[in-house]
Amino acid sequence: MIFYAIRGATTVEENTPQQILTRTTTLLETIIERNCIDYKDIVSIIFTGTKDLDAQYPAVAARQMGMVDIPLFCCQEMYVKGSLERCIRVLMHIQVSEPKDVKHVYLEKAKVLRPDLADEILTIAIDGPAGAGKSTIAKAISKTLNILYLDTGAMYRAVAYKMLKSNIDLNDHQKVVNVLNKTDLQVRYDHGKQKIIMDGKDVTSLIRTTEVSQAASKVATIPEIRLKLVDIQRNIASKNSLVMDGRDIGTYVLPNASFKFYLTASLDERAKRRWLEMKANGVEQNIESIRQSIHERDINDQNRSFAPLKQAEDAIVIDSTDKSIEQVTNEILGHIRGSLRKG
């Protein structure tokens, strides 16, 4: 026999016996349906309720469904300040003879507990200029929410890298497009980490030079290049909950993203961050030349005619100049969690 534990959670709007019973019934029915469980497979079920629920034991719902012989146990969920209110959690143990893929179930406002398991795809767009901290913040958010992180800048960098390696004149747009059309560019995930594979070679670590940064900003002005990369980006977003960062995510790639943020910081601060980052990687560069290079990229990115860098009208703007990584991450998570709870 093989044992599995299945998690689930739901919420109620009111602390009434009727709501607790109906929402718990729906939760149990959904777990049973999605996991093709027979009552005889269920070993036991533990229920918890948050401290604001005392109108009924959720286990009563299971008894009313006919689970008369199954050991059930109700207890109070540990209270953590700021945690989800009026929430019922379930831990169901089953034993079966064949291995199966277990599906955990999060309903109502409890979806916020595990956005990675929610039925709807969660898309978080983070746009902003170079050095604003997008990738650091996006990585932290993807880790906390257990969803993918797609760094779209890495895709433009990979194209630029290919053009530099092939000695293509970046001003010859047709040539750049022709070369890209013959290039196999893939985004893959290895243990949750994004990898850029070009013509079968992993170029992820080769695209972080200043030369590639400048060239990426140039190739990113070519509409045909953007269309091709946007197609790959949308395709990944159609199948996965993710955080995507770039310049045009909220305005063009994912206009219907679940959440949009525009992250910015002063030019001096962004130059300082890049300088510190390079120094930490053993690369000494004059801060003024970094500042100049970021400024040039800002101008390129903001003034191209097709999908330029700009703040989406419905994006939440965060200026990270005087904020730590942790502060910005918590601010963004606060917006996401607050809104999912209300939804």
User: Which residues in this chain contact ligand DC in the complex, by CB under 6 A?
Assistant: 130, 152-153, 156-157, 213, 216-217, 220, 246-248, 297, 301
4, 34, 74, 296: which one is catalytic?
74
**At its nearest, how many Å lie between ligand DC and the CB of residue 320?**
15
34, 77, 269, 296: which one is catalytic?
77
Q: Which of 106, 261 has the CB closer to ligand DC?
A: 261
57, 87, 106, 108: which one is catalytic?
106
Torsion of CA 97, 105, 67, 51, to 10 degrees: 140
Q: Computed from CA positions of residues 240, 148, 121, 125, in that sequence, does the dihedral angle turn out positive or negative?
A: negative
Give the distance, in angstroms, between the CA of residue 11 and the centroid of all CA atoms in the same chain. 23
**At its nearest, how many Å lie between ligand DC and the CB of residue 227?**
12
Q: Does the annotation mark 63 as catalytic?
A: yes
29, 63, 189, 326: which one is catalytic?
63
Q: Rounded CA gap, 26 and 30, in Å?
A: 6
Return the half-sphere exposure (C-beta side, CA atoms, 13 A cut-off) of residue 70.
25
Q: Rounded CA gap, 149 and 161, in Å?
A: 21
Q: Which of 89, 134 has the CB closer to ligand DC?
A: 134
**At its nearest, how many Å lie between ligand DC and the CB of residue 282?**
20
Q: Which of 48, 213 has the CB closer to ligand DC?
A: 213
Q: Does the annotation mark 77 as catalytic?
A: yes
Give the distance, in angstroms, between the CA of residue 55 and the centroid of all CA atoms in the same chain. 37
**At its nearest, how many Å lie between ligand DC and the CB of residue 272?**
16
* Residue tagged 């109700």 (tokens): 74
Q: Which of 59, 130 has the CB closer to ligand DC?
A: 130
Q: Which of 72, 271 has the CB closer to ligand DC?
A: 271
Instruction: Order across the sheet with 72-76: list the strands.
Output: 72-76, 42-49, 87-96, 2-11, 105-106
Max Cα distance, the chain (Å):
75
Q: Does the annotation mark 106 as catalytic?
A: yes
Q: Does the annotation mark 89 as catalytic?
A: yes
Contact between 44 and 142 under an 8 Å Cβ cutoff? The reply is no
4, 85, 114, 341: which one is catalytic?
114
Q: Computed from CA positions of residues 318, 231, 204, 300, in that sequence, does the dihedral angle turn out positive or negative?
A: negative
Contact between 108 and 11 under an 8 Å Cβ cutoff? The reply is yes
**At its nearest, how many Å lie between ligand DC and the CB of residue 334?**
24
Which residues belong to the active site? 7, 63, 74, 77, 89, 106, 114
